[in-house]
Structure 1
């Protein structure tokens, strides 16, 4: 079982949410085809291809000089102006992106580790996923005071929304607030990416479409699946752009990606909503255990916002 980062907020918040063990608590990947299994070599290949474009998305330029000083993007040093979230070319400073990961309500273990109503957690796999790309992590505690959350957002270069189950209450409101912050930062000319996984994908679909009922039921718990690239998809500028052709082909034929969800959006419902279809373009689709097709990867047309229904971490 993965280790977890637990956070007890000082806010007095009680949400009667359901909690679940996420896929991060165990590495179980079951293929719908019993004859297909995921080899460690394929895992390594996908991992190596994913973290590189993620890092490029989070920080377009990395200073390779050895660190003489390490500062957070919002820190003000002696004689130093306030820094943009974009890395500078100052050879005297070494910057690694600082990514905020939003915590999820509960303890990630159905209350077995911490049953406090204000507890929240970040599965360690998301932290390691970001760190493997060379970035650092600041936990964004979903129910901490608004001024603390705002201060943390001023210190990070981008945000990651994790998987989970909560789709209502304060958590939904905080996701919506952070999403608006991401758009505002980019509209002001500051490159500020957002990476949403599983529940993050679902919440963005609800927020952007302005339709709480846009999600549909799918049978994709603990499922390994393929990714089918849409005919019109252009992988240039996406997380897939550095995948070698052989791996891209394998993704369409072999069950290499992890699915762990009960909800999603069908391509038909996606296209029927003008708000959603004008914000995101579909990169890939996948099939659940019953053969139903759902949208599995999207990227925004005009913002550095990417969302996976599957789990790259």
Structure 2
């Protein structure tokens, strides 16, 4: 029995070592146009993914020059927030990776809107008259939240993080958008109704109801999207420097609850990845490829990429 115990400990140690040495997953992020010569990725998105153990590879705004390479060398797709039109290249990338087993897809803010355009087959599904900029609120959860994979990911752990209670009871979800998907528009589109479970809705300052959190009804589709910004609670402050010190411009919650929600969202997404990292090292990751950094208020920092 004593020998068996030693063998068991040894096997567990070997399994742990192999898991520890496994190459990290690589998440593809589509960069957005900055000017005629550069595109950018907000550093907060990269940090939030890296905090959960992933690395980031940039995919150009107009699309990958070698789509097969991206499919073979990345493990997830992240569509970030910003202000840019949905390109044919993004559509092609989205369609290509959806066929990959255990390849999760996430959209935040603009990425949320892009995903709704692509799933619905209707670019006009995005409504443009919401008063929801700089607007931190709790989520109005639907009945689907009770069984949501995204919001119940912390349950059953030894430390049991109740993410659902946090987002429902505290104003930790920063909305920063004029566009969005009206609840009525969502409900009128059969493709969206069939594909997604609506986890939460919210109302803007004028009382207009919009969709704020969704996840694919079929767990194997692995598509998740928030109209709000999980990454900002930890990595964005909306501060302007250089003019009599710093002042706060954005209403971002930086409480312990807000920071925990930020971490749990990123950690959930990375945990969905079912395969070990397969990146072959022949192309630079985002931090290596970047040709400069830009500071600002809407994003504390952006990585620039020459195009």
Fold-level match, TM-score > 0.5? yes
Aligned to 1:208: 119
Aligned to 2:96: 181
What do you get for the CA RMSD once the two structures are aligned? 2.3
Contact 1:202 1:264 in 2 (8 A): yes
Q: Distance in 1 between matches of 2:20 and 2:48?
A: 28
Q: Distance in 2 between matches of 1:155 and 1:179?
A: 15
Residue 178 of structure 2 corresponds to residue 259 of structure 1: no
Unpaired segments ≥5 residues, structure 1: 1-62, 67-89, 107-114
How many residues in Structure 1 have an aligned counterpart in Structure 2?
A: 211
Aligned to 1:121: 40
TM-score by length of 1: 0.62
Deviations 1:198-224 (A, max 9, x none): 111101111111112111121111111
Contact 1:160 1:196 in 2 (8 A): yes
Which of 63, 66, 81 aligns to 1:163? It is: 81
Deviations 1:223-279 (A, max 9, x none): 111101102433342244316576533422331111111111122211110011111
Q: Give 1:281 shift.
A: 1.0
Q: Give 1:140 shift.
A: 1.4
Which residues in structure 2 correspond to 1:43-192 (within 5 Å)?
65-66=16-17, 93-106=21-34, 115=35, 117-143=36-62, 146-147=65-66, 149-168=67-86, 172-185=87-100, 190-192=101-103
Aligned to 2:243: none
Q: Distance in 2 between matches of 1:105 and 1:207?
A: 20
Distance 1:145 1:136, change over 3 A: closer
Distance 1:237 1:145, change over 3 A: closer
Contact 1:65 1:94 in 2 (8 A): no
Residue 223 of structure 2 corresponds to residue 305 of structure 1: yes
Aligned to 2:305: none
Q: Distance in 1 between matches of 2:136 and 2:26?
A: 31
Residue 210 of structure 2 corresponds to residue 294 of structure 1: yes
Distance 1:254 1:237, change over 3 A: closer
Aligned to 1:111: none
Structure of greater relative contact order (alpha carbons < 8 Å, 6+ residues apart): 2
SS of 2:143's equivalent in the other structure is coil
More helix by share: 2
Aligned to 2:244: none
Unpaired segments ≥5 residues, structure 2: 1-13, 232-307
Distance 1:260 1:305, change over 3 A: same
Contact 2:63 2:93 in 1 (8 A): no
